Structure 1
Amino acid sequence: MDQLLSWKRSDQAFFAAGACHVLAWVAAERYASAGFGIVGMRQFGHPHVSHVIISNGRWAFDHDGWTPLPELLRATAEYEPDPSWDLLPITSALRHFCAAHKHRTPEQYAHDPLPRARRYLHQRPRPADVV
């Protein structure tokens, strides 16, 4: 994939199509004290995580913003041929996750995605009723 072309996508499209893990690590750093952790989503039987979110078991945050976790899982299942998902708590460092699940490290993007993820997260603050 052309990394410069990928970089030129809108923020939402960029984080939806390949950089969700970067956004999740930034969001988890910001909301860890509120009980949110990194969660990998993979289809049952698949060895690698295909989508990464943060969640506290009730709410989730990803490229679409804040969503009740069951709603996010239903919406994701509508777009997948096999709607069965395995949720994996991720506790490793970003670099180790990338190596284990075949995701790009921040250095492998056209530009550093971490500041972009921080700006995107700042534009979508956690609503007061998300606990």
Structure 2
Amino acid sequence: MRTPEGSSDVFLSWRREDMVFFAAGVCHILAHMLLSLHPNEDFDLIYIKPVNKQPGNHMYESGGTWAFGFNRWSLEKDLLKVNETFAKDRYPNWNYERIVIEKVCRSI
């Protein structure tokens, strides 16, 4: 999640370290890049949509069990738990909906 300062100053936001940059702000670009590099794989583009308009939007790729996010391949359940724990530390009532945005089939 970006800070209020990072949200209001695009140049400050762009100067963040790579991992922070891809974790909070351009995760959707990283997710789409994986799709373009692996067009014959069976990945879903997943959107973590916080409920009640809270912060914490996030996108990643998942092939079912494994997921690719800003810091590495991990089990999807672990990626979701890390995101949830991080958000709930800041917003105790935080919750999300897991939405499959795009299905990329092996047959394409």
TM, length-normalised to structure 1: 0.60
Query: Which ranges of 4 or more aligned residues in structure 1 deviate by more than 6 Å?
Result: none
Distance 1:47 1:9, change over 3 A: closer
Q: Is the 8 A contact 1:54 1:60 kept in 2?
A: yes
2:58 aligns with 51
2:21 aligns with 14
Residue from 64, 68, 85 that aligns with 2:96 = 85
Distance 1:11 1:33, change over 3 A: same
After superposing the two structures, state which structure 1 stretch, 27-36 or 64-73, moved more. 27-36
1:29 aligns with 2:36: yes
Distance 1:7 1:82, change over 3 A: same
Q: Which has the higher strand share?
A: 2
CA distance in 1, matches of 2:96, 2:13: 27
CA distance in 2, matches of 1:58, 1:46: 28
CA distance in 2, matches of 1:63, 1:30: 16
Q: Is the 8 A contact 1:20 1:63 kept in 2?
A: yes
Please list every run of 5 or more consecutive structure 1 residues that lacks an aligned counterpart in the other structure: 93-131
Distance 1:91 1:62, change over 3 A: same
CA distance in 1, matches of 2:75, 2:94: 17
Please list every run of 5 or more consecutive structure 2 residues that lacks an aligned counterpart in the other structure: 1-7, 104-108
How many positions carry a matched residue from both structures?
A: 92
